A and B are shown apart, each in its own frame.
Chain A
Amino acid sequence: MTGQVSPQQLAERALGHSRAQGAVVLVEETSTANLRWANNTLTTNGVAADRRVTVISTVAGATGTAAAAVTQAGIDEETIEALVRASEKAAGDAGPAPDARALLAPGDAAAARGSRWEEGPAGTDIEVFAGLAPALGEAFDAARSAGQLLFGFAEHTVVSTYLASSTGLRLRHDQPTGKLELNAKSPDFVRSAWGGVPTRDFADVDVLALGAQLGQRLDWQKRRIDLPAGRYETVLPATAVADLMIYLYWTAAARDAADGRTVFSAAGTPSGTKVGQRIGGPGVRLWSDPTAAGIECAPFVTATSSDAQSSVFDNGLALTSTDWIRDGVLEHLLTTRQSAEETGLAVSAPIDNLLLDAGGSGGLEDLTRSTEHGLLLTCLWYIREVDPQSLLLTGLTRDGVYQVEGGEVTGVVNNFRFNESPVDILNRITAAGATEGTLPREWNDYFTRAAMPALRIADFNMSSVSKAS
């Protein structure tokens, strides 16, 4: 907000107030704008600005070092000292932290460096939709003329993060995140098509073109075919692949694997995990890279809490391109410096994007054309873990399942509930498209930066029919 102390000054003030052995301060300046619509009209909208400060104090005791994180919104010069004291008190009460390590300093090889600390925060506001809103109005007119209804959501958020530590780190990152989701339906809601696009600034979003594409999908749906539950050769678009791979990624903590409680556990190996073992088909690469074009993300760790995947002690740790799976072999699991040491694995902290390459080329249309007999999905929904042992996930197909015969879409099929494991799927790829940027349908509240290929999977388990449309 205007007229306030700058985020850099606030971070320095916090460090100045600190009486603990160590401190990390994260100042996050967030601005966001959104529009939501249904039945060809606006339903809600809004803008919001938020400054939140996290203070992590580390306190050395007789038996080890403790840490606690306290986060508060609306902090200013008057209230920052109280926040620092609250963090110190919480750390003092916490007792030794198993993940305690020395805070990173600018000279450490593992620490991130150089990130325009002095610059002010980036921001967004409702004007980001100045072009979109009239275009949406036109899309509504077009939908009305075609006897269709449009639903959807547009959101743009910019977060500027400032990380300062008592050890001298001064790091900054601007993260724009944007998405547009569009859903077209027939007035009786029986036919439904969805499309989504990730964007960093909305300059590249063509909602009229997306609307026209969905209109074509609704036309495909005029011929309806009922199919029973069963195993089908199934073409998954990039968005569906992303939702499955993101779940796999979220389950990839080395510590959980070493404890014997995930699909990546392997009793009797030195790390207690499957690192080094083949888990997917040849040529399959799953990785994260903070510099990946179009889906750039923070090149250093910002952790406001410790858990199986992250440690507040690792704040400022540099993040670089990391292969999770390479040529089908599990290369890395998510580690903190502590869990890496305990398992004997490399340090590889979570990175906020995910890419998959299965050695394919071409797009969804090419995969469809080369499919003799199978299903083409639009997206997946309500994905939940059923059995951690195999990482069996359940969920639904949504907004258009199409029958493909001889490379042609022959009509729309009922929806299904599936039960499948994303790990198992990596061994049943019969064809792949090229890796492309995509918006994960299910997880885009939490994860938008993904590049995935469309995949054709053998014997995809459609466990039962869903009457939903």
Chain B
Amino acid sequence: MPSLDPTFAALPLRELAQAALDRARELGVDHADLRSERIRQQSIRLRDAELDGVNETVDSGLAVRVVHRGTWGFAAGTVQTPEAAVRLVEQAVRVAEVSAPVNQEPVILAPEPSHGERTWISSYELDPFEVPDTEKIGLLTDWSRRLLAADAVAHVDAFVYAVKENKFYADTHGTVTTQQRVRLHAALEAVAVDESTGAFETMRTLAPPVGRGWEFMRGVGWDWDAELAALPALLAEKLAAPSIEAGVYDVVVDPSNLWLTIHESIGHATELDRALGYEAAYAGTSFATLDKLDTLKYGSPVMRVTGDRTVEHGLSTVGFDDEGVETQQWDLITGGILTGYQLDRRIAQLKGLNEGRSNGCAFADSPGHAPIQRMANVSLQPAADGPSTAELIAQVKDGLYILGDKSWSIDMQRYNFQFTGQRAFRIKDGKLAGQVKDFAYQATTTDFWGSMEAVGGPETYVLGGAFNCGKGQPGQVAPVSHGCPSALFRGVRILNTVQEAGK
């Protein structure tokens, strides 16, 4: 079992908290919380089996958030002493004072029981920062060479990105949490170039980013050897594949592609702060507004979507959120009907959802940023005795099977989306019939999920996700996982991207 990083534990965290919270009480705030964070990140990138760059960044600092006379105030700095913590409290109160003329709606936070002193560490085996760089670079070099050895492969990009996140939180209500999470994302992308025409295609590994340690690179939770062995032939087939004929097709979507469609068209659309307009000028709003709760037909009856911050190896998983709320699991869509939202303490109180308690979705990506409502792991549940992917494909007479995420875009109310993929196979009479290229699928959210005829069984379920979900101003980046089975959709509009370019 991993243990708490001793250098983080050695910081004078409780002294900082006491100094800050005492000063905050003296200044008469309604609420105060202090976070001390250290986020260690390493990126290693290779190009054609040669090192392109290696960097490591350690972000650390202290953040104080207050509610002062009903207005937020936030201040952050990098010096971690009790004196600096006191100064941050004073700055945060000043920020609240300067902003008071702009505030028309007093901030009240949903109550959360005090959890006292708690420690939480994510589930992983091997801290990636304990593995020598020589081993990491060596492994990526070996994997890149395996791909480059194939005739079809002209170039290979490879990267591994590792994060270790330590957070300490203390508030005026008595909750004090110390937490540690580790996550890892690695991928290789091979490029094939047709020298005679200048045409090129790429294909990337489908291994998802995971809330795991370096063991993932050694085969725990993913079969890298098999994936790397198969990639060159798949890429060669794609380069030579016919261009898709634009039209309407039945589509089986693999979890490696579907997770991103869930993220964009369900994950963001069920964030209550978006539905309330907090993101209206930036990330956008949501068509799934609060007045439609328990009535909006989001999709077909086979659709059940949950939110959680608790699943093992999930990227959004944590013990307590950045407002001291213990994490939970709940339904967002049940039998195809909108039944829940993602909440933080302010909006839970404002709208009285979840019996007036936050479901633990507050997150700040760094000590320099204030927490906002961020995404839980939002996952489409499989059918208990559901079909295999092959059985789903067998139900399609004339269609496509799409794997791997690639390009994505969705509008500011989460209606109209367009996705491409790493590869797609034609399905003819229930069987795969070779790859096609230049495909994209385009739909409106409720039409698409309404056309979902069947979800696969638990054996098709994969936890995908991303490190780079963006939201908020100042911009914040959050990691999040999305689990889903393979699923069958009827009558989806497929574009030809070469035609779209007017060629």
Residues of A within 8 A of B (CB): 1, 4, 32-52, 66, 68-74, 86, 90, 93-98, 126-127, 129-130, 133-134, 136-137, 140, 149, 151-153, 155, 181-183, 185, 189, 192, 194, 259-261, 265-267, 304-308, 312, 381-390, 392, 394-396, 398, 415, 417, 419-421, 424, 445, 459, 461, 463-469
Contacts and interface: CB of A to CB of B under 8 A. Distances in A.
Contact of A45 (B99, B368, B414): B99
B463 interface: no
Contacts of A266: 198
Given A140-B102, A260-B200, A464-B416, A126 B277 contact: no
Interface of B: 43, 45, 47, 50-61, 63, 71-80, 84, 91, 94-96, 98-99, 101-105, 132-134, 137, 154-155, 191, 193, 195, 198-200, 202, 276-282, 284-285, 287, 368-370, 372, 407-416, 418, 420, 438, 440, 442, 444, 470, 473-475, 495, 497-498, 500-503
A128 B202 CA distance: 47
Contacts of B287: 467-468
A153 B473 contact: yes
A3 to B, nearest CB: 9
A381 B410 CA distance: 9
The 10 closest A-B pairs by CB, nearest first: A46-B74, A74-B78, A183-B281, A468-B413, A151-B281, A93-B133, A466-B416, A41-B104, A468-B411, A306-B53
A465 B416 contact: yes
A306 to B, nearest CB: 4
Contacts of A194: 281
Given A71-B56, A74-B80, A266-B198, A464 B442 contact: yes
Contacts of B498: 387, 390
14 contacts: A42-B99, A47-B74, A48-B63, A69-B55, A71-B57, A72-B57, A73-B59, A95-B137, A130-B98, A151-B280, A306-B52, A463-B418, A463-B442, A468-B416
Given A40-B104, A126-B99, A467-B416, 8 more contacts: A4-B79, A38-B280, A41-B105, A44-B74, A45-B73, A52-B78, A68-B54, A260-B200
B98 A151 contact: no
A133 B57 CA distance: 35
Nearest to B500: A419
Given A46-B95, A136-B102, A185 B501 contact: no
A465 B447 CA distance: 14
A468 B99 CA distance: 31
Contacts of A398: 411-412
Contacts of A469: 413
Contact of B440 (A50, A129, A133, A386): A386
Contacts of B409: 382-384, 394-396, 417
Would you call the interface of chain A mostly helix, strand, loop, or mixed?
Answer: strand
Contacts of A260: 154, 191, 193, 195, 198, 200
Given A4-B79, A126-B98, A267 B416 contact: no
B225 to A, nearest CB: 24
A454 to B, nearest CB: 22
Contacts, number: 295
Contacts of A445: 470, 474-475
A52 B501 CA distance: 43
A41 B412 contact: no
Given A93-B133, A424-B502, A70 B55 contact: yes
Contacts of A73: 58-61, 78
Contact of A461 (B76, B103, B191, B502): B502
Contact of B500 (A36, A261, A461, A466): A461
A33 B473 CA distance: 11
A151 B438 CA distance: 39
Contacts of B279: 38
A158 B423 CA distance: 44
A447 to B, nearest CB: 12
Contacts of A381: 284, 411-412
Contacts of A140: 102, 104
A184 to B, nearest CB: 9
Contacts of B99: 35, 42, 45, 126, 129, 133
A262 to B, nearest CB: 9
Contact of A151 (B193, B195, B277, B502): B277
A140 B75 CA distance: 25
Contacts of A466: 411, 415-416
Contacts of B132: 93
A32 B368 CA distance: 10
B280 A183 contact: yes
Nearest to A259: B155
Q: Which one of A44, A390, A415 has the greatest number of beta carbons of chain B within 10 Å?
A: A44
A305 B55 contact: yes
B368 A50 contact: yes
Nearest to A87: B56
A51 B497 contact: no
Given A35-B102, A42-B103, A71-B56, A390 B501 contact: yes
Given A48-B75, A468-B416, A94 B500 contact: no
Nearest to B191: A261
Contact of A42 (B102, B282, B413, B497): B102
Contact of B407 (A47, A385, A468): A385
B58 A72 contact: yes
A190 B40 CA distance: 43
Nearest to B198: A267
Contacts of B74: 44-47
B57 A44 contact: no
Given A149-B277, A381-B412, A419-B500, A304 B55 contact: yes
A137 B102 contact: yes
Given A126-B95, A136-B102, A396-B412, A386 B53 contact: no
Given A37-B102, A93-B132, A468-B415, A50 B78 contact: yes
A90 B76 contact: no
B77 A421 contact: no
A468 B446 CA distance: 13
Contact of B76 (A48, A155, A182): A48
B134 A93 contact: yes
A390 B52 CA distance: 26
B386 to A, nearest CB: 31
Contact of A153 (B52, B56, B105, B281): B281
A48 B495 CA distance: 46
B277 A47 contact: no
Given A94-B137, A133-B101, A392-B500, A382 B412 contact: yes
